[in-house]
Structures are given as C-alpha cells and as structure tokens.
Amino acid sequence: MAIQWFPGHMNLTKQAIQDRIKDIDVVIEMLDARLPASSANPMLAQLTKGKPSLKVLNKQDLADPVRTEMWLAHYNAMPATRAIGLSATDTAPAKQLIKACRELAPLRGGMVKPLRVLICGIPNVGKSTLINTLAGKRFARTGDEAGVTKTEQRITLAEDFYLYDTPGMLWPRIIVAKSGYNLAASGAVGRNAFEEEEVALELLDYLIANYPQNLVDRFKLKTEDVVGHTDEQVLEAVGMARGALLAKGSRGGRVNLQKAAEVVIYDFRANSLGRITLETPAEFAVWLAAGEKMDAERQVKKDAIELDRKIRFKKIPRPSKRDVD
C-alpha cells in the first residue's frame, strides 16, 4: 500500500512559499539524517529552483555516522548547495547556519541588504526545536506529532539575518514507495495514513539486511533468530521477547502483531535501536528510478482512460483507423 499524506494546511504552506520565495536569498531544507533523501521534498525543489540551498541533516546523533558522511559528501557535490549536520547536542547551531548561509550568498549582508533565509522541512524533522534554540526561547510549538507548526514566522538571528520559518510540508504524491515507509517510521506522516504492522515489517526487512546486530542487542534475540529470517518471523520474535501476546482465549499465547509493530516503530523513533540510517545515496537512486518508471506507466494508463472517456462522451472525435495506424 502506497503511503500518502497531504492535509489541507500543507497546500496553504505551498502557497506561502510561492509568495515568499521571490524575496529569499537562501533556502535551508532540514532533512532527517536517518532518511536524508526520503525527507527531501521534491516539490520544494521545484518551488525554490535557482535559489542557493543549505541542506541540514538534523538528528545526526541518531543516524549511522558513516552514512551521514556519505550523504554530506553527496549534497556538497551539488552546485549552489552546502550541507551540514546538526544534532541535539549542538548548543550553538546559529553560528553554523549563519556562516553556511553567508557563504552561499556572499553579496548579501549589512542593514541595506540583509540576508533573507527561508527554512523548510517535513513534519517532525526537528525544525521547531531548532527554531526555539536559535531564538533562545519557546518561539515555535514542538511535539512528536506530525504537523504541529501551522503558520509562517520570522526570526531575527542577527541584525542583518532574517529567518522565515514555514510549517512542515510533505508533497501531494510520494512516488518512491520506500520513502513513504521511511517517512512513516520516522513520524513524519500522520498515524491515520498508514498501518503500523506494514511499516514495521518494511523497517525490519531493512534492518535485518543492514543492522541485524542492533535487533539482537535491543530485543535480546539470538543472531540465528534474526539473520536469514523474514521480517514476519522477526516481528513475531520481537513480540515474544516483549511479551506482546494476545489475551487468553482461542488465540491466547499468540503474538499480538499490532503491539509488536508499535514496539519496533517506537524504538526506532526513540533511538533505542541504535544509530541507524535507512538509505544510502546509491540505494535511493535505484528506488527513485523504479518509482519514476512506475509513475510514468501510471500516467500512460491514466491518459488512456481519460482519452476513452472523452471519446465516449463525444467531447473529441474517435480516431480513424488511418490515424491509429
């Protein structure tokens, strides 16, 4: 099942960015360091095209440090782009952000030409927490629920440095299926948009292949209970280890897969599984190519259905056999 989530206030955010972007010098996009490309908004790239970009890999203290370096190198190789990592332990992130933004727009600065910066990101990426740290007070609401911030805000970080904060925003259609699951696992998608068991199984499938020892250590499993087993089998093992069992009765003693799935997702979000990154640049390139191919095929089918509808309702003439040939 493809995961999609684009509530109404996100469309308002899109309009606000469109209105604001003409006056912006640099765009900061906050990414989740555990899923950098999945948390990068392709719609934002279209809205801000031509503007220098600073990619901030937030929550890098939760991510695989080796993979974080891979992603930083990946983004820093792009034109008009800088990338830095931030974590909860950074006590003075403003200096890093201001320095990186000034390097991207060296001709802006001073009271006559203040640097105007737009900061964007998906829901629950930690943007509001960062804003509060930068402002030195509780400037924005924070929470573990996707979509907490609802209005644009302006923060003055220096006399000639204005930061415009926007609500978290996803995009209307997620074409990379794996991105949908990764976003749901991270907490960027509203709970009404996905099934926990399905997301947990996708997460376990990746962890079995890439971070099996993390599962062994966290859930006190044996290596042979993880390596070489399916995601369904490992989910059951997690449920047994945590005592997530159905109530007594005809199904008593069996694993409550819903509860087990919630445990897996919660432990990933809380960093209880250790430092994990759910994608590499090479992996995401493969996923994106597959997603774009499927999307193109979907569009061909959609166009054919629309053409047939117009012909049946005589909105356009039926093509002659010569035209078809």
Mind spelling out the 3-state secondary structure of 45-70? HHHCCCCCEEEEEECHHHCCHHHHHH
The CB-side HSE value for 147 (13 A sphere, CA atoms) comes to 15
247 pLDDT tier (thresholds 50, 70, 90): confident
Which option is the CATH number for 195-269: 3.40.50.620, 3.40.50.970, 1.10.1580.10, 1.10.357.10? 1.10.1580.10
Instruction: Give start and end residues of each alpha helix (H) in the chain.
Output: 8-20, 42-47, 65-76, 93-104, 127-135, 177-186, 196-210, 212-219, 231-242, 257-269, 281-312, 321-324
Find out whether 68 and 33 touch, Cβ atoms under 8 Å: yes
Predicted pLDDT of residue 224: 95
Diameter over CA atoms, the chain? 76
Per-residue pLDDT reduced to its tens digit, 174-230:
999 999 999 999 999 988 889 999 999 999 999 999 999 999 999 999 999 999 999
Which tokens go with 201? 């199984």
Find out whether 276 and 268 touch, Cβ atoms under 8 Å: yes
Residue 318 pLDDT greater than 60, yes or no? yes
252 pLDDT tier (thresholds 50, 70, 90): low
Query: Residues of CATH 1.10.1580.10 domain(s) within the chain?
Result: 195-269
Mean pLDDT of 274-280: 98
CA 262 – CA 239 distance, rounded (Å): 10
Residue 14 pLDDT greater than 80, yes or no? yes
Find out whether 130 and 86 touch, Cβ atoms under 8 Å: yes
Residue with tokens 């509780």: 138
CA 149 – CA 9 distance, rounded (Å): 10
Per-residue pLDDT reduced to its tens digit, 82-131:
999 998 777 778 788 889 999 999 999 888 999 999 999 988 898 888 88
CATH classification code of 9-165: 3.40.50.300
Mean pLDDT of 296-324: 74
Per-residue pLDDT reduced to its tens digit, 61-80:
999 999 999 999 999 999 99
Q: Which residue has the higher pLDDT, 272 or 129?
A: 272
- Give the closest residue to 88 by CA, choosing from 125, 61, 113, 53: 61
Predicted pLDDT of residue 130: 85
Q: Please tell me the pTM assigned to this model.
A: 0.85
- The contacts of residue 13 (CB under 8 Å, 6+ apart) are 166, 167, 168, 169
Query: Residues of CATH 3.40.50.300 domain(s) within the chain?
Result: 9-165
Residue 249 pLDDT greater than 60, yes or no? no
Separation in Å, CA 259 to CA 47, 192, 194, 240, 269: 40, 16, 15, 11, 15
